[in-house]
Amino acid sequence: GQYNGNLIAQRLISTGAEESEAFKAGQAVQRHILARTTRRRIRRFLRERDRLWTSGEGEIQATSGLDLLEKPAGAEWTESSQHQVADAIGLLMASGLNGRDISSILEHTPSVATLRTNSPELESESDNADVSDATSTSLGRSSCGNDGGLIESKDTLEGLLNIVFVELLMKTLKLRRYDARAVLRSCPGLLSKGGARSAMQVVVLMRSLGVSTTSLARDKKSLPTLLSRSPAALFRFVAFLSSEDIRMPVESIGPFLRRKNTEKLLDAVAPVSSNRMCVISDKNMTSPVGDISLMVDFWGGDAQAQKMKINSVYRAMASTA
């Protein structure tokens, strides 16, 4: 099917990608599709089993689960998705990305290959402009709240490219196209609905602390890491620094966070997810960091251990303050 890793790799090579990078990207997409399809089939099997048991229609056949898993991996995708990979690659190319960029993006964020490229025909063209304007307005705010609906209707690759690549990286941060492409290559999850929202909230938070977008864009090496951090964890750290225990002036917090020697501390209190290549949840990332469900969304299955580790860091800092 269209999600075969070798077929995707050949298509990427035809765009100018290196062969090794293209095959890595193709295999990443194929693994993502297989895992996603398997999860869907298991959920459907369990729902059917529960329905039969509840209705008393008899026992579900022992072979039902095997039948589900033996179907081809592409069998569940509708006819409307048959050209998604080709369309996604074509749209990324039309947006100014090259084969190397696309291979890197698909390797760390394979879900990009399954995104609908354009809005349905029923949506008016003005809708894209309205959402784009709303995004620019929200990024100009000085607070980090109430922007949860920023990209609520943006489930398309075209919309995400406009919001992340154009609005956030090139217009808000004023990065050159070359540098913006480098950020997309090295920032897993950025081209996902939750990842885009998370990155924008981080920028809004830093601007509210007096850090200019010019300063953020100047440090191109650490920018992908900053955009990958949890805005909720960063907000908790800001609240701690301005609390009675530390009493750091708010106007000093922004410059403090930008120091090179603060990076290790940020890694301790707002670590970048080890499985950041997974699509970030669409939940509001400004929820309290103590909410374990939020941390599972951002840090994955090790969220409980990560939460305990972060809390121990805060206890140690509070005791020595």
Q: In the chain, what are the domain boundaries? A: 5-114, 125-320
Q: Position 166: which residue type? A: V
Q: What is the pLDDT of residue 173?
A: 96
Q: What is the pLDDT of residue 155?
A: 79
What's the pTM value of the predicted model, to 2 decimals? 0.74
Only one residue has tokens 């196209």, namely: 177
| pLDDT confidence band for 200 (50 / 70 / 90) | very high
Evaluate the CA torsion angle 134, 139, 142, 145 in order and state its sign: positive
Q: What would the pLDDT profile of 96-118 be if each residue is shown by its tens digit?
A: 999 999 999 999 999 999 998 88
Q: What is the pLDDT of residue 287?
A: 38
**Percent of the chain residues topping a pLDDT of 90:** 53
Q: At what angle do helices 84-94 and 5-14 cross, to 10 degrees?
A: 30
Close Cβ partners of 99 (under 8 Å, ≥ 6 residues apart): 12, 13, 15, 16, 17, 18, 22
CA dist., res. 22 & res. 174, Å (int): 30
| pLDDT confidence band for 58 (50 / 70 / 90) | low
Whole-number average pLDDT of the chain: 79
Q: What is the pLDDT of residue 52?
A: 84
Q: Residue ranges of the alpha helices (H) in 165-230?
A: 177-186, 193-208, 213-218, 223-227
- List the structure tokens of 113: 């290959």
Q: Of 141, 191, 15, which is closest to residue 86 (Cα–Cα)?
A: 15
HSE at residue 176, side-chain half, CA atoms within 13 A, is: 4
Provide mean pLDDT across the span 183-201: 94
pLDDT of 152 higher than 50? no
